[in-house]
Amino acid sequence: MGRVTELELSAWRLFIKTHATIIESIEQDLADQKRVPLTTYDVLIALFEAPDRKLRFGELNQKVVLSKSGLTRLVDRLEREGLIQREKSQEDRRGAYAVLTHEGELQLRKAWPVYARGIKQYFAEPLSDDEMRSLKSAFTVISKALQSSHDKEEKPS
């Protein structure tokens, strides 16, 4: 496989550090303006984009960076806050859906401008269109590679 080169290592370090700083900044902005935090946003937007604004826990779990139990507990909290609701599935009596409520959609809409501004300001603004395209394409490549390596481990056929 070969050693990690200087180039790769410095790119890696920038990648990590940049990510951390951007996320931290956006999270701070959201908190300052009393908007939902990023993890919550992720859940809400996933539901918002889903048919009927609802998803099974399993599906939701794939879209969100969180463990199974982590998701259960996040949904607990969000349900308490009235942003989503549990709805037990008819077809599969084990399972349940998480459904976006009106309040949830409202909070989603209120958070978006802040979030969007953060993405623009901290992430997009400094880059040229060309750089942004390269960035996206690089991550697409990496992402595909990750998927296939993940697939391999799931199903050793």
Partner DNA sequence: TGACTTTTGTTGCGTAATCAACAAAATAAT
Partner DNA sequence: ATTATTTTGTTGATTACGCAACAAAAGTCA
User: Is 39 near DNA (CB under 7 A)?
Assistant: yes
Q: Which of 61, 103, 121, 123 binds DNA (CB under 7 A)?
A: 61
User: Is 95 near DNA (CB under 7 A)?
Assistant: yes
Q: What's the 3-state SS for the chain?
A: CCCCCHHHHHHHHHHHHHHHHHHHHHHHHHHHCCCCCHHHHHHHHHHHHCHHHEEEHHHHHHHCCCCHHHHHHHHHHHHHCCCEEEEECCCCCCCEEEEECHHHHHHHHHHHHHHHHHHHHHHHCCCCHHHHHHHHHHHHHHHHHHHHHHHHHHCCC
Which of a copy of itself, DNA, none is residue 106 near (CB under 5 to 8 Å by kind)? none
Compare residues 18 and 137 and give the one whose CB is closer to DNA: 18
Compare residues 91 and 125 and give the one whose CB is closer to a copy of itself: 125
Compare residues 4 and 51 and give the one whose CB is closer to a copy of itself: 4
Q: Which of 11, 52, 70, 131 binds DNA (CB under 7 A)?
A: 70
